[in-house]
Amino acid sequence: MASSNGTAAASGQRSAAAKRGEATKRRQAASRRNTTARRAAGKAAASRVSAETKQADAVGTQIAGVAESAVLIPVGVALETADRVVQALRPWTTRTGAERELNRVRRSARRFERRGSVARNRVVRQTRVRRNRVVRELRKRRGQLVRVVSRQRTQTNRTLKQNRRRVQTELRKQTREVRKAVRPQVTRVQSSLQEQVDQTRERVQQLV
C-alpha cells in the first residue's frame, strides 16, 4: 500500500517536472522568437536609415554640384570671353601683327567686294535678259494684236461694203417696185385732172 502511494507520488513529480520543462521550452522558444523579431526589426530599421542616409547624401551631393556649377559657369564664361578678347587683340599689339591683320582685313574686303561685284553683275545680266524677254514678248503680242485688229478692220469694212451694196440694191428694187405700183395711180390721177381741166375749160367757153 505504501509502495503504491510512493509510485503515484513519483509519477506526479515526473509529470509536474515534465510540465515545467515544457513550459520552460515554450518560454525559451518565445524568447528566441522575440529576439529574432527584434533583431529583424533592428536590421530593417538600420537598412532603412542607411538607405535614407545614402539618398540624403546623394541629394546633398547633387545640390552641392548644382550650386558649384552655378558659381563656376559664369566664372568659366568670363574667362573664356577674356581669352577670346585677348586672342583677338593679340595680333594688334605689335606693329607687324597689326599690319598683317590689316592686310588680312583688306584682302577679305577685296574678296567681299569681288563677290559683291560678281553678284551685282549677275543680277544686272538677269534683269537685262528678263527685260529683253519682256520687250520681245510685248512686241510680239503687239504685232499679233495689230494683225488681228487689221484683219478685223478689213473684214468689217468688207462686211460694211457688202451690206451697203445689199441695202442699195434693195433700195433700188423697192424704189422700182414703188414706182411700178404708183405709176398707174399717177396716170389715173393725171387723166382725172386732165378731164376736170377739159370740163372746166368747156364750161368757161360756154359761159363766154
pLDDT at res. 204: 73
pLDDT at res. 159: 87
pLDDT at res. 130: 92
pLDDT at res. 52: 65
Percentage with pLDDT > 90 across the chain:
5
Q: Rounded to whole angstroms, how far apart are CA atoms 88 and 107?
A: 18
pLDDT in tens, 81-138: 777 776 766 666 677 777 777 788 788 888 888 888 888 889 889 999 999 999 999 9
pLDDT at res. 1: 47
Q: Rounded to whole angstroms, how far apart are CA atoms 73 and 94?
A: 33
How many contiguous H segments (helices) and E segments (strands) does the chain have? 2, 0
* Buried-state track 125-146, b at ≥16 Cβ within 10 A, e below 16: eeeeeeeeeeeeeeeeeeeeee
Give how far the C-alpha of residue 151 lies from the chain's centroid of Cα atoms, to the nearest Å: 50
pLDDT at res. 126: 92
The three cell numbers of residue 202 are: 368747156
Q: Rounded to whole angstroms, how far apart are CA atoms 26 and 98?
A: 101
- Which segments of the chain have a pLDDT < 50? 1-3
Cβ atoms 137, 130 nearer than 8 A: no
C-alpha distances out from residue 51 to 32, 47, 61, 62, 156, Å: 28, 6, 15, 16, 108
C-alpha distances out from residue 26 to 12, 14, 15, 32, 122, Å: 21, 18, 16, 10, 108
| Cβ neighbours of residue 203 closer than 8 Å, sequence gap 6 or more | none
